[in-house]
Amino acid sequence: MAKDKKQPRPRAETPKGFRDYFGAEVTERSEMLRQIAGVYHRYGFEALESSAVETVEALGKFLPDVDRPNEGVFAWQEADEEGKGDWMALRYDLTAPLARVYAQHRNDLPTPYRRYAMGPVWRNEKPGPGRFRQFYQCDADTVGAATVAADAEICAMLSDTLEVVGIPRGDYVVRVNNRKVLNGVLEVMGLTGEDQRAAVLRTIDKFDKVGEAGVRELLGKGRLDASGAYIDGVGLASEQAEPVLAFLTSKGADNGATLANLRAAIGTSEIGAKGVEELAEIADLLAAQGYGPDRIVIDPSVVRGLGYYTGPVFEAELTFEILDEKGRPRQFGSVAGGGRYDDLVKRFTGQEVPATGVSIGVDRLLAALRAKGRIGQEAAAGPVVVTVMDRDRMADYQAMVAELRAAGIRAEVYLGNPKNFGNQLKYADKRNSPVAVIEGGAEKEAGVVQIKDLILGAEIAKNATLEEWKDRPSQYEVPRDQLVAKVREILEGQG
CATH of the domain at 442: 3.40.50.800
Residue 143: C-alpha distances to residues 44, 315, 344 (Å): 13, 19, 10
179 with 303, same domain: the answer is: yes
**pLDDT bracket for residue 325 (50, 70, 90):** low
Instruction: Give the model's pLDDT for residue 3.
Output: 66
More confident residue, 5 or 76: 76
> Is 8 within the bounds of a domain?
no
Distance from chain centroid for Cα 265? 35
359 with 293, same domain: the answer is: no
Based on the number of CB atoms within 10 Å of its own CB, is 266 exposed (0-12), middle (13-18) or buried (19 or more)? buried
Q: Distance between CA atoms of 281 and 365, rounded to whole angstroms?
A: 29
> Is 159 within the bounds of a domain?
no
42 with 81, same domain: the answer is: yes
Lowest mean pLDDT among 256-265, 293-302, 317-326, 361-370: 317-326
- Give the model confidence (pLDDT) of 107-134 as tens digits: 999 999 999 999 999 998 888 777 889 9
366 with 389, same domain: the answer is: no
> Is 490 within the bounds of a domain?
yes
pTM over 0.75: yes
Q: Distance between CA atoms of 200 and 321, rounded to whole angstroms?
A: 31
CB atoms within 10 A of CB 312: 28
Find the domain containing 186 and state its range: 168-332
Based on the number of CB atoms within 10 Å of its own CB, is 260 exposed (0-12), middle (13-18) or buried (19 or more)? middle
What is the enclosing helix (H) or strand (E) of 282? helix 270-288
Helix crossing, 255-266 with 270-288: angle to 10°? 170
- Give the model confidence (pLDDT) of 172-224 as tens digits: 999 999 999 988 988 888 876 778 888 888 888 788 788 888 889 888 888 88
pLDDT of 265 above 70: yes
Instruction: Give the model's pLDDT for residue 324.
Output: 65
Strand 134-143, strand 355-361: pairing:
antiparallel
248 with 288, same domain: the answer is: yes
Q: Distance between CA atoms of 96 and 61, rounded to whole angstroms?
A: 10
Over residues 430-436, the mean pLDDT reads 94
Number of residues assigned to the chain: 495
Contact 386, 451 (CB under 8 A): no
Instruction: Give the model's pLDDT for residue 460.
Output: 73
267 with 197, same domain: the answer is: yes
Instruction: Give the model's pLDDT for residue 51.
Output: 96
286 with 349, same domain: the answer is: no
pLDDT above 90 coverage of the chain, percent: 59
> Is 161 within the bounds of a domain?
no
pLDDT of 469 above 70: no
Instruction: Give the model's pLDDT for residue 202.
Output: 82
Contact 154, 122 (CB under 8 A): no
Sort residue 228 into left (φ over 0), alpha (ψ -120 to 50) or beta: left
CB atoms within 10 A of CB 323: 10
Q: Distance between CA atoms of 429 and 384, rounded to whole angstroms?
A: 11
403 with 353, same domain: the answer is: no
Sort residue 264 into left (φ over 0), alpha (ψ -120 to 50) or beta: alpha
**pLDDT bracket for residue 62 (50, 70, 90):** very low
Helix crossing, 194-204 with 207-219: angle to 10°? 140
**pLDDT bracket for residue 69 (50, 70, 90):** very low
Per DSSP, helices labelled H in 111-206 are 149-165, 179-189, 194-204
Q: Distance between CA atoms of 81 and 79, rounded to whole angstroms?
A: 7
96 with 72, same domain: the answer is: yes
Over residues 31-56, the mean pLDDT reads 96
What b/e sequence results for 272-300 when a residue is b if at least 16 CB atoms lie within 10 Å of its CB, and e otherwise? bbbbbbbbbbbbebbeeeebebebbbbbb
22 with 142, same domain: the answer is: yes
Domain count of the fold of the chain? 3
> Is 9 within the bounds of a domain?
no
> Is 122 within the bounds of a domain?
yes
pLDDT of 465 above 80: no
Count of alpha carbons within 13 Å of 121, Cβ hemisphere only?
27
- Give the model confidence (pLDDT) of 80-91 as tens digits: 766 678 889 999
477 with 356, same domain: the answer is: no
189 with 311, same domain: the answer is: yes
More confident residue, 362 or 68: 362
Q: Distance between CA atoms of 97 and 53, rounded to whole angstroms?
A: 9
**Nearest by Cα to 167 from 25, 333, 378:** 333
pLDDT of 467 above 80: no
Lowest mean pLDDT among 145-154, 339-348, 383-392: 339-348
> Is 7 within the bounds of a domain?
no
Provide the CATH number for the domain around residue 259. 3.30.930.10
Over residues 388-409, the mean pLDDT reads 96
Over residues 400-421, the mean pLDDT reads 95
Contact 460, 452 (CB under 8 A): no
pLDDT of 77 above 90: no
Distance from chain centroid for Cα 176? 19
**Nearest by Cα to 245 from 265, 225, 264:** 265
Over residues 46-58, the mean pLDDT reads 94
Residue 435, C-beta contacts closer than 8 angstroms, at least 6 positions apart: 384, 385, 451, 452, 453, 454, 487, 490, 491
